[in-house]
């Protein structure tokens, strides 16, 4: 994995799904031309944002913001948008798509929120939660692709690989 170093604050004032897609494209296009990327590589850039009440929620700035988010999210549902941009370095083609999954949150207590935020886990992820970590116990349901909530929609990625003329199963080799 290569970290893009993209300044995410450069994209503003766009709807949450579009924000996720634009950031994924910026990240992919920042990594693809780097000299350490093999000439025959497929480069994937992804970014996620949680939409709650029409607002895009990325990573919280600090613990206080994470607590406020959880207080707003508890007992409610949000839509996690993950932008996926896949580039075929050799062919120069790329495809970009956003996957969206509805996430239902438990009606967690203030004590549970405080304890969860104290772990540090919600400070490093979009929407201040993970479904595959400690926060998974606070997710009561998912409508759509579970993989998308983890961070990469595998079914969507498979379609992108095929769109670029490659076979999904070839990615398993080596």
pLDDT tier, 81 (very low <50, low <70, confident <90, very high otherwise): very high
Q: Please indicate, yes or no, if residue 73 is contained in any of the structural domains.
A: yes
Report how many domains make up the chain. 1
What is d(CA 97, CA 20) in angstroms, rounded to the nearest whole number?
9
Which is more confidently placed, 11 or 157? 157
Q: What is the pLDDT of residues 109-166, one digit of tens each?
A: 999 999 999 999 999 999 999 999 999 999 999 999 999 999 999 999 999 999 999 9
Task: Tell me the torsion sign for CA atoms 30, 32, 34, 36.
Answer: positive
Q: Which domain holds residue 57?
A: 11-165
pLDDT of 41 > 90? The answer is yes
What one-character-per-residue DSSP string does 77-110 give? EEEEEEEEEEEETTTTEEEEEEEEEEEEEP---H
Q: Please indicate, yes or no, if residue 174 is contained in any of the structural domains.
A: no
Query: Residue 150: its pLDDT value, please?
Result: 93
Q: Please indicate, yes or no, if residue 16 is contained in any of the structural domains.
A: yes
Query: Residue 4: its pLDDT value, please?
Result: 86
Q: Please indicate, yes or no, if residue 1 is contained in any of the structural domains.
A: no
- Determine the average pLDDT of the residues in 64-71: 97
Distance of CA 77 to the CA centre of its chain: 17
Q: Please indicate, yes or no, if residue 5 is contained in any of the structural domains.
A: no
Q: What is the pLDDT of residues 54-64, one digit of tens each?
A: 999 989 999 99
Q: Contact 79/102 with Cβ under 8 angstroms?
A: yes
Q: Please indicate, yes or no, if residue 3 is contained in any of the structural domains.
A: no
pLDDT of 174 > 80? The answer is no
Q: What is the CATH number of the domain that holds 66?
A: 3.90.950.10
Q: Please indicate, yes or no, if residue 2 is contained in any of the structural domains.
A: no
- Determine the average pLDDT of the residues in 67-88: 97
Average pLDDT, the chain: 94
Q: Please indicate, yes or no, if residue 170 is contained in any of the structural domains.
A: no
What is d(CA 40, CA 84) in angstroms, rounded to the nearest whole number?
19
Distance of CA 50 to the CA centre of its chain: 9
What is d(CA 121, CA 112) in angstroms, rounded to the nearest whole number?
13
Q: Which residues are catalytic?
A: 47
């Amino acid at each position: 994995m290569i970290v893009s170093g993209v300044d995410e604050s450069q994209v503003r004032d766009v709807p949450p799904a579009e924000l996720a897609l634009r950031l994924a494209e910026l990240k992919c296009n920042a990594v693809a031309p780097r000299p350490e990327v093999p000439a025959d590589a497929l480069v994937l850039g992804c970014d996620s944002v949680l939409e709650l009440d029409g607002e895009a929620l990325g990573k919280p700035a600090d613990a206080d913001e994470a607590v406020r988010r959880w207080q707003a999210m508890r007992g409610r549902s949000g839509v996690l948008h993950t932008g996926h941009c896949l580039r075929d370095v050799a062919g120069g083609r790329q495809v970009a798509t956003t996957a969206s999954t509805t996430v239902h949150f438990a009606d967690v207590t203030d004590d549970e929120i405080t304890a969860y935020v104290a772990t540090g886990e919600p400070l490093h992820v979009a929407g201040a939660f993970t479904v595959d970590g400690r926060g998974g116990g606070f997710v009561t349901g998912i409508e759509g692709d579970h993989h998308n909530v983890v961070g990469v929609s595998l079914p969507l990625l498979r379609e992108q690989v095929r769109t670029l003329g490659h076979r999904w199963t070839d990615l398993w080799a080596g």
